[in-house]
Amino acid sequence: MESLIAHLAELLLPQGRGVISITGAGGKTSALKALGRHFRSLSKSVLLTTTTKIQSPKTFDYDMDWAFTDEVEALGHEVAPGEGVFYAQRALMDPKKLVSPRPEVLSILIPRFDVVIIEADGARHLPLKYHSQRDPVIVSETDATLAVMGASAYGRRVDDSVFGFESEALVDTAFLNFLIRDGEGALKGAMGRTVLFINQADEVALPLEGILAPVPLILGSLREDRIYGSL
């Protein structure tokens, strides 16, 4: 059985080098970690970071060799081949969250690594995201975009499962198509090679029939590292 993560990595960065921005909801941070671990297994140096907010490594294990929350330390670190580095800045208002490095600092760091993976969105742990004017935040250096959606929203009320959208309707195929096609939906801001990934297929049997995606779509489970279907 083909590895989901290996397949996503090949679709996103076929040359094994570049910048991936991860947007949406329903597994962004888990995808960030899994892709970082995969590229490191290929002896690539990897930077994990954010352009919005991200969990602190004190509360989430990113499986990296180094974790920096200070730009002086991050800029002063000499990157070794195959090494994994996590870096985001301390957030004064929320000690459980870290925030984006300054853009000029990120621009200095990106060329130092073979692969940079950026969490470029936030969804407060809900499985789907409808964007506002201020997000996602995708850097110009982005070579590929992984837009994540959570299958666990299927059949639930929109109010309870979609960050940024209010409706008493249920999430069905028609709503997923709306979210995929709308300008503020799942593919907003996507740059470079773009893959739409519906995670949590091990939790909910989401039918792919009727879903219309303008980019490659993969249905799978990060927890199982398994592909359930594709379009």
> 132-158, pLDDT tens digit by residue?
888 999 999 999 999 999 999 999 999
pLDDT band at 122 (very low <50, low <70, confident <90, very high): confident
Contact 127, 5 (CB under 8 A): no
What's the whole-model pTM score? 0.96
> 8-26, pLDDT tens digit by residue?
999 999 999 999 999 999 9
> 179-210, pLDDT tens digit by residue?
999 999 999 999 999 999 999 999 999 999 99
Our separate counts of H helices and E strands in the chain read: 6, 14
DSSP letter assigned to residue 77: P
pLDDT band at 91 (very low <50, low <70, confident <90, very high): confident
* 106: three-class secondary structure by DSSP: helix
> What is the chain's mean pLDDT, rounded?
95
Residue 173 belongs to what H/E stretch? Answer: helix 173-181
Contact 195, 8 (CB under 8 A): yes
Q: What is the mean pLDDT of residues 53-73?
A: 94
* pLDDT for the residue numbered 139: 97
* pLDDT for the residue numbered 118: 98
CA dist 128 and 116 (Å) reads 24
